[in-house]
Structures are given as C-alpha cells and as structure tokens.
A and B are shown apart, each in its own frame.
Chain A
Amino acid sequence: QQQVKQSPQSLIVQKGGISIINCAYENTAFDYFPWYQQFPGKGPALLIAIRPDVSEKKEGRFTISFNKSAKQFSLHIMDSQPGDSATYFCAGGAGSYQLTFGKGTKLSVIP
C-alpha cells in the first residue's frame, strides 16, 4: 500500500505558539488531502482538507500548505491552545474514498 509518512510522532508546544506537522506521500494519483483530529476515546474528526490545485488553505487558526512537486503537505496551527491537544492524522486519497492515513502526531499544548 502506498504510504503517507507523517512527522513528528509527538509534539509539545507552548500555548500561543505555532504547531507544525508534516506529511509526505508517494502516490501521485492522490487528489485529496484531509487532516483529521482525534481526541482520546473518540473517532477522528475532519479538521480541514485540500486538493492539489491550490497551494494553501486556511480555516481559522488552521492552515494547510501543499507542495505538489515535493509531494509534501503540512498542517500549521496558529496560536495553539490547550484544547488543541489531540492526535492529528494526515491522509491522502484518490477520489477521497480510499484514504491512506499517516501514523499520527500526538500534540500537547502546555499552558
């Protein structure tokens, strides 16, 4: 199965800081790149998604940056808050039905 490599595995950020999570993919057929947020005991929830025809998408404090030539994309969380502490998953999909997920990044935002 084509991989999506996600880094770092864990991240500690001070409240108010910027959290950055990176992903790299292999499958050039991917045309949909979502980010999911998962809290303990809950299912993943769609946070933000991008398609490769744009290089950046911003929704509130969350921004996806996309580099098609490098096959990389990243999630930036501005003004990180303790409530953002969760596990974040990137994914790639062809037609968005068959998603290949990264292994996840556990984010801890400390006061």
Chain B
Amino acid sequence: DAGVIQSPRHEVTEMGQEVTLRCKPISGHNSLFWYRQTMMRGLELLIYFNNNVPIDDSGMPEDRFSAKMPNASFSTLKIQPSEPRDSAVYFCASSLYRNQPQHFGDGTRLSIL
C-alpha cells in the first residue's frame, strides 16, 4: 500500500516567490495534517483537515500561508510571498479517522533564498 506522497522533495526559490507544496494522502484516510519541522521549533501542526474540510488552522503562522484540500486524494500548502524564515521541512500526514495513528510522508525540504 502506497504511503503519503509529497512533492516536490526539495524546493529552492527566491524570497517573494510563490511556493506550492503537494500531498497525496493514503487512500481511504479521511484526516490530513500539514506540519512544519525546524531545528528551533521542532514539529509544529499547521492545519488539520477532516473529510476535506479545514477543522483547525490555528497553527498557520500568518496570512501568507494557505492550504486547500479540493478532494480526498489531494492537498496543497501554499506560501505567497515566501520569506527566508519559511525555510523548513514541511510534512503531510494522514490518518484513517481523527483518533487513529498519523502516517507521515517524507516531507518537502524548502529553502527560501
């Protein structure tokens, strides 16, 4: 069974550019999570979707960040405009239901120059 698939694996772009990260959750999972991992702050939950609906976006750092889940098999996290402090590894995770274990993708390493 395929795991959570994220793309791209690496992204390097200049400050001010729009960045779009993509995630395909495990088939049949109805909960999806976006996390950010940095050395300073560790793993932080950014947003949580249940049945494609955003339930909790309190972790989204500011209005430059937005996330969508147009269908059960695809989600995007967008940063516009990007800033150097957004450099981090972004993970997507999914779970069968909201109280089931979360399965992580291998992340997107984002570098903003």
Does more than half of chain B's interface fall in helix, strand or loop, or is it mixed? Answer: strand
Q: A44 contacts the other chain (Cβ, under 8 Å)?
A: yes
Closest Cβ neighbor of A103 among chain B residues: B42
Contacts of A89 in B (CB 8 A): 42-43
Say yes or no: B100 contacts A96, CB within 8 Å.
yes
What is the 8 Å Cβ interface bit string for chain B, positions 80-113, against chain A (1 contact, 0 not)? 0000000000010101001111111111000000
Contacts of A101 in B (CB 8 A): 42-44
Min CB distance, A86 to chain B, in Å? 14
Contacts of A98 in B (CB 8 A): 45, 48, 56
If A96-B98, A97-B31 touch, whether A43 touches B104 (CB-CB below 8 Å) is yes
Q: B79 contacts the other chain (Cβ, under 8 Å)?
A: no
- Measured as residues with beta carbon below 8 angstroms from the partner, the interface class of chain B is 20 to 34
Say yes or no: B99 contacts A42, CB within 8 Å.
no
Contacts of B45 in A (CB 8 A): 98-99
Closest Cβ neighbor of A42 among chain B residues: B106
Contacts of A46 in B (CB 8 A): 101-103
Say yes or no: B100 contacts A43, CB within 8 Å.
no
How far is B101's CA from A41's CA once the two chains are assembled, in angstroms? Answer: 21
Select B104's contact among A32, A44, A97, beta carbons within 8 Å: A44
Say yes or no: A43 contacts B4, CB within 8 Å.
yes
Select B101's contact among A42, A49, A103, A104, beta carbons within 8 Å: A49
Q: A92 contacts the other chain (Cβ, under 8 Å)?
A: no
Contacts of B104 in A (CB 8 A): 36, 43-45
How far is B44's CA from A45's CA once the two chains are assembled, in angstroms? Answer: 16
Within 8 A of A (CB), among B39-57: 42-45, 48, 56
Closest Cβ neighbor of A91 among chain B residues: B43
Say yes or no: A99 contacts B42, CB within 8 Å.
no
8 contacts between A and B (CB under 8 A): A42-B106, A43-B91, A45-B103, A46-B101, A95-B98, A96-B100, A97-B95, A104-B42
New A-B pairs, 12, CB < 8 Å, besides A45-B104, A46-B103, A98-B56: A41-B106, A43-B91, A43-B93, A43-B105, A44-B43, A46-B102, A89-B42, A89-B43, A97-B99, A99-B45, A101-B42, A101-B43
